[in-house]
Amino acid sequence: MPGDVELPLFPLQSVLFPDGLLELKVFEARYLDLIATCLRTGTGFGVVCLSRGHEVRRTVEEVAFETVGTVAEILDVDSTQAGILQVRCRGAARFEVMSSRQQADGLWLAVTTPIDEDAKVEPTAALEPAARGLADAIAALKDQDVEPFLPPHRLDDAGWVANRWCEILPIPMPAKQKLMALPDPLLRLEVVDDILRRKPNA
């Protein structure tokens, strides 16, 4: 595994999963500069879930964020208004924050340790209904011209299936964070399957 890496951070009131789609409206100077730097250098930035504070900088506010996040790789950038960028990103590798500091302009930087990618494991027979249910959900959303997931759709990959369910189910943010950080993709899918079975009309 590679050694520690310093990453600029983008704290959000959401959880980014590996292979997930993230759409951002960027207008703060610190993040406009961040996106410009990432585009120039071909690098990504770290997304961490806020546990306290807001996404938009306020004069006096304590900010805290989770210590496990996901690298965001920029897919494309569009600018329809001056000073505002519409940014689409893909979730890449997870990381753990070892230390962090805030620059004068408000941008957070963190020394991070990469976390191994999920091993590719097929859903067990007991978890096959969760994979089939996701396939049905993808088809239903596509009929509504909604495509929330980036291709390829890996329905034979327990971690991928679990992550996509986590993105669309109404799971509380702290629980989503814990699921994203779980190192065992089969266990993550087992938890999701339990949530699905408890849902009314599931």
For 19-33, the pLDDT digits (tens) are 999 999 999 999 999
- Looking at the domain that runs over 5-114, which CATH code has it been given? 2.30.130.40
CATH 1.10.1040.10 for domain 125-198, yes or no, is no
pLDDT digits (tens, 9 = 90+) for 66-91: 999 999 999 999 988 888 999 999 99
Chain-wide mean pLDDT for the chain? 93
pLDDT digits (tens, 9 = 90+) for 114-133: 999 999 999 999 999 999 99
| Angstrom distance (rounded) from CA 32 to CA 68 | 24
| 63: its two tokens | 């900010």
Residue 56 confidence (pLDDT): 62
Phi and psi dihedrals of 60, rounded to 5? -125, 105
Q: Is 145 exposed, middle or buried (0-12, 13-18, 19+ CB in 10 A)?
A: exposed
- Strand pairing report for 45-52 and 84-102: unpaired
Sorted by where each begins, the domain ranges of the chain are 5-114, 125-198
Among residues 48, 19, 23, 50, the alpha carbon closest in space to that of 163 is found at: 19
Neighbours of 37 (CB within 10 A): 13
What is the CA 135 to chain-centroid distance, rounded? Answer: 21
pLDDT digits (tens, 9 = 90+) for 5-56: 899 999 999 999 999 999 999 999 999 999 999 999 999 999 999 988 765 6
Residue 60 confidence (pLDDT): 61
Give kind and range of the element (H or E) at residue 68: strand 68-81
